[in-house]
Each structure stands twice: as C-alpha cells, then as structure tokens.
A and B are shown apart, each in its own frame.
Chain A
Amino acid sequence: MIQLSRITKAFGRHEVLKGIDLTVGKGEVVAILGPSGSGKTTLLRCINFLEKPSGGTVAIGDFKADGKHPSKKEIHALRLKSAMVFQHYNLFRHKTALENVMEGLVVVRKIPKEQARAKSISVLEKVGLGSKIDAYPSQLSGGQQQRVGIARALALEPEVILFDEPTSALDPELVGEVLEVIRRIAKEGITMIVVTHEMGFARDVANRVVFMDEGLVIEEGDPKEIFARPKEERTKQFLKRITPEASYSI
C-alpha cells in the first residue's frame, strides 16, 4: 500500500503541489489525469524522491519517510520498493535490452548474474521482446524501447510501478503495443500509478482515476463514474477539452 500525506512541493517560490493526499491499495491501478503543469509528474517523482517534497510524508508498505528531511537510507529504501517508467524511456544507451533489465538486479539487488539473466530474459519475453534481448536502445523502435523500460521496472518486482506518460513520446501507431503490455501487467495485480493522457486507457484499465489541477486533487473515484458524471467544474472542462469523441475509441 502506498500512502502520500500532505505532500507539498515548491520550486523556489512556485508552489507546484499544495498538499496532496493519496492512498493506493495493493494491486490497485490508479490513473492520474490533469492539465499540463498541474503537477502530475512532480507528484510521481516525489514518491521515489527524484524530487524532494517540501513537506508531507511518503509511505510504501510498512516503510515511511519524511518528505522534507529524508535520510539517504530512507530514500534508498523507497527506491527499492518502487520502480519508474519514464516518458522518454531513459534506457541506458550503452547497454543492451537484457543488460538494461539486469543492471538493477545485479548492481542493486545483488542477485547472482546467472539468476538475474534468466529472470530478465523471462521478463523481456513477457513484454514481447524475447528476440531483441541483445539489441541496443538505438536499434529499437520507441515502442520497443518503452517495453524494455517496463521490463526494467517489472524485473525489480517492486511494490509499485510509477508510470509517467509512458506513451506520450511515441508515434501514434506504437502507442497500442505499449498500452497492451501495461494492461496485461495490470491484470496480474501489480500496483501501479499511471500518469496518462490516454483517456480510453484510464477508463478501461484503472480501478480509480485521480484528477489533479494546480497542485491539488480536485476529484477522484471510479473511472466510469468520473468520465460519465464528473462532479467538479474543472474536471468537466478538462474532459470536454481532452476527449472529443475520437479518443473514446481506443
């Protein structure tokens, strides 16, 4: 279970997060929606301390860290319990797909090489890249790179995987294959927080949708409910803007 309490974050004098509470149960898939600049990425990055919150607490499982004054050990512990899939994949460019997935297992988790290798291959097969394990990122399409990114996160068996707009850097024809993989692992009961602009995906896959604006959670609830009958004015505005008929077809 992930529990964020009163998370705030300011860049200089710019208050980006204004006190966010969010609880995500085990096996739950939560989609975070909201207009550009509303603080979705920042919130996600506060969970694994790629960004240090200005206040609040982050808890994953039975481990809790103070947002403002975390120790190195606390940050490390949170990062061991989480994994992240990035908008721009952020693969290690000098390593093959297999090495990208193995890296964390071997270097951080200290799993013996052979074991890590076997595990990584099986995860890469799971995301449909069994035949590409020796390819470098530069030899892969965007969709394939992102699937390596997902495999890298998955192999760590974290308590939660954080996705930051995993498909928004992809060519439209490659979006489907990546969403399909995410959909599949969601079904396996892996806890996920997904920042996305793919409304169809949020509606079909998420157990819960959280709508953010200007650093606050405006509304949250069952996706079908929120898409059909948003209560807050800002949610309505946002949905009207972002979901003209077309995107429902996904």
Chain B
Amino acid sequence: MPGAKFDIAYVFDYFPKLLSTLGLTLTIVGWSILLGLGFGFLVALPRLYKVPILQRVSQVYVSFFRGTPILIQLFLIYYGLPELLKLVHADVTRTPVLVFVVLTYSLHAGAYLSEMIRAGVTAVDRGQVEAAYSVGMSGFQAFVRIVLPQAFAISLPVFANLVIATLKDTSLAFSLGVMEMTGKAQTLITLSQHFVETYIALAVIYFVISFALEKVFLLLERRLLKHDRRETDSGKRFGWRRAPSLRGLLAKTARAQEGRSRA
C-alpha cells in the first residue's frame, strides 16, 4: 500500500485545512450556475421560439457540452481559447486560471440548463397562456406571470441535480492548478503521504454539502409545488414527496394538448 500508515487523527486534522478552501469551491459553483443560467436562457430562447439559424447553433452548443467530458472541455478552453483570441490580438496570458475554469463550468452547466428551461417552459400547457391572453395580458406578462413560475417549480429537481453535479465537477479544476478543495487535498497528500485519510475527509465534506443542498432544494420545491398537491398527499406524513418526473409532466402536457387540438 502506498503512503503512510493509516492514522484517523489526520482525518480530523485535515477537515479545517480542506474547509479553508471551501469558499473557493463554492465560488466556482455559484458563478458557474449564475452565468450558466444566463447562457441557458440565451440558448433556450431560439429553440423555444424556433429562430431559424440560431436554433441550429444552440443545438450544436448543447450537443457539444453534453457530449464531451468536462475535463476535456476544461483543457480545450484553457489552452484553446487563448490561441483563438490571439487571432484577434487579444492577450489573455495574464487572465487568472479561475476565469477559464468558471467559463468552462458555466458553459457546461448552460447546456444542461437550457434543456431544463426548454422542458420547463414547454411543460406549462399552451391553454394557460391563451387564457392569459384572453384576459388581456401581453406576451411578456403571460410569460413572466404564468409560464415562468410554473416552469421554475417544475424544473427545480433538475436544477438541484445540476447544482450538485457542478459541485462535484469542481473537483476537476485542480487539474489546471486551481487550489479548490480537491487541489488542496492533493497538496496535503504530497506533504504527508496520508492518502486515505485525506480522501475520507474530502469525501465527507462533499457529501455533507451535497446532502444539505438536496434538503434545501427539496424544501423549496415543496413550497413551490404546493399548488400541485392534493389534500390527501401521503408524502406529507413522511415529510417528503417524490420529485415529479419531467417525463411524466411532458406526457401529461402532450395529452392535454392532444385533447385540445380539435380534429
């Protein structure tokens, strides 16, 4: 076995050391999700409104970021983007690595978020929008007041997954030398050779944060979806309920639409 003899004391010793870099990890997650939402909206809109050429561009973007490993995306953007920018005489050699990291994660998250936004918006049936029009709302009012709140509630489970996935993905940023939690763990290991203890401490931290996030999102979701619960909800007794499956919702919408399409 490589490394030093197992000593549980190191696990406890390393917690605070690793936690000192938690801020950086969460910063990466926060910015990536925030920017990712921006990208997601930009990419979802042309597909929702079927804008001819942009729709294709969106599709290619989504396929690329969903279809390639994030580690490779990190390298491509870190090494490739400066080369591209050189062509237009922009010098990014002094730009902090962190910027590339956040850019990669937000583009990556944006691809998934755009799909989430698209699915959420299409899951709100057209009839409600027509009802909004019929009482005199504008397209914008109908979108903001009727579609978005419901799309958001529907999307929350998917969103929660994505935030947690991004948190875990940040552990790859150390491969570009960013001193987030996993990067910090690597240095601790290099110094002490206590592999297992370090990774145990690291795993516990990631797990606790993911777990906490999951709980927070579940609470939020329950609040936002209160309109879709019947009084007799059996989940209430156990303090939880199953996340609505997106596919189920889509099927429901399709049925509703079928019912409405007048043959």
Contact = CB atoms under 8 A, between A and B. Distances in A.
A84 B262 contact: no
A88 B260 CA distance: 8
A228 interface: no
B7 interface: no
Interface in A69-97: 76, 79-80, 82-84, 86-88, 90-96
B135 A86 contact: no
Nearest to B260: A88
A139 B226 CA distance: 11
Contacts of A139: 230-231
Interface string B35-71: 0000000000000000000000000000000000000
B104 to A, nearest CB: 35
B17 interface: no
Interface stretch (A23-31, A59-67, A101-109, A113-121): A101-109
Nearest to A87: B260
A94 B134 contact: no
A88 B141 contact: no
A50 B132 contact: no
B137 A92 contact: no
Query: Looking at chain B's contact residues, is the secondary structure mostly helix, strand, loop, or mixed?
Result: helix
Given A36-B263, A136-B228, A94 B133 contact: no
Contacts, number: 82
Contacts of A169: 259
Given A90-B128, A139-B230, A48 B134 contact: yes
Nearest to B226: A136
Interface residues of B, number: 29
* B137, B229, B230 pick with most chain A CB within 10 angstroms: B137
Nearest to B136: A108
A197 interface: no
B23 interface: no
A90 B259 CA distance: 12
Nearest to A50: B130
Given A94-B150, A94-B153, A80 B262 contact: no
Give chain A's interface residue range (CB within 8 Å of chain B).
20 to 34
A221 interface: no
B135 A156 contact: yes
Nearest to B257: A88
A108 B146 contact: no
A189 interface: no
Given A90-B127, A94-B149, A37 B262 contact: yes
B256 interface: yes
Nearest to B138: A76
* A92, A95, A137 pick with most chain B CB within 10 angstroms: A92
Interface string B184-205: 0000000000000000000000
* B130, B132, B135 pick with most chain A CB within 10 angstroms: B135
Nearest to A48: B134
B227 interface: yes
Contacts of A83: 134-135
* B131, B132, B150, B230 pick with most chain A CB within 10 angstroms: B131
Nearest to B127: A90
A187 to B, nearest CB: 24
A6 B226 CA distance: 47
Interface string A132-153: 0000111100000000000010
A109 B137 CA distance: 10
A87 B256 CA distance: 11
Contacts of A80: 136
A54 interface: no
B215 interface: no
Contacts of A156: 135-136
A109 B136 CA distance: 9
Contacts of A76: 136, 138
Interface in B70-96: none
A196 interface: no
A80 to B, nearest CB: 5
B230 A88 contact: no
Nearest to B144: A107
A41 interface: yes
A84 B137 contact: no
A93 B138 CA distance: 19
Interface of A: 36-37, 41-42, 48, 50, 76, 79-80, 82-84, 86-88, 90-96, 103-104, 107-109, 136-139, 152, 156, 169
